[in-house]
Structure 1
Amino acid sequence: MGDEVMVLSEVKKNGVYHVKHLDGSDDLNRHLENLGFVPGESVTVVSRIAGNVIVNVKGSRVALSSELARNIVI
């Protein structure tokens, strides 16, 4: 993968990725950080349903809309 930059809404199911940074407003970034999306954290994509992304992060399963997932750079 190298230096390829993608957002969480674009990645494939069953892939394991690492958060590089968050690209939303301060409030949105704080919300995502509280859910466990912090730089360096491992994220596993469990499912993609109707544009939404379901991931495992920090031992929890989290469902994100594609709008939210677009703010997580991996």
Structure 2
Amino acid sequence: MPQVPLAFLESGRRGVVVKVRGRDEQRRHLENLGFVAGAPVGVASHVAGDLIVEVKGTRVALSREAALKVVVAAG
């Protein structure tokens, strides 16, 4: 499966988190939201460049900058 930043997935697409990049503080924040290796994620929608993402049964709003830090295996 190709690995891409979460920001590059189209609405309705799903993937699995491979890794979270960024500074320790950013990485920890994203991991606390549920973006951990092996977690399934889906993009509900793109809104003005930002994303609404489903992870661990919850919808989360992410800036494009944060979504670029999450690398997923697109399925």
Instruction: Give the aligned partner of residue 59 of structure 1.
Output: 57
Q: Report how far residue 72 of structure 1 moved.
A: 0.1
More strand by share: 2
Match of 1:37, as an amino acid?
A: F
RMSD over aligned CA atoms reads 0.6
Q: What SS does structure 2 have at the residue aligned with 1:14?
A: coil
The runs of at least 4 consecutive aligned structure 1 residues that moved more than 6 Å come to none
- Partners of 2:7 and 2:52 in 1: how far apart? 10
Q: What SS does structure 2 have at the residue aligned with 1:6?
A: strand
The number of aligned residues is: 72
TM-score scaled by length of structure 1: 0.94
Instruction: Give the aligned partner of residue 47 of structure 1.
Output: 45
Unpaired runs of 5+ in structure 1? none
Unpaired runs of 5+ in structure 2? none
Match of 1:70, as an amino acid?
A: L
TM-score scaled by length of structure 2: 0.92
Percent identical among aligned pairs is 44
Higher relative contact order (CA 8 A, sep 6+): 2
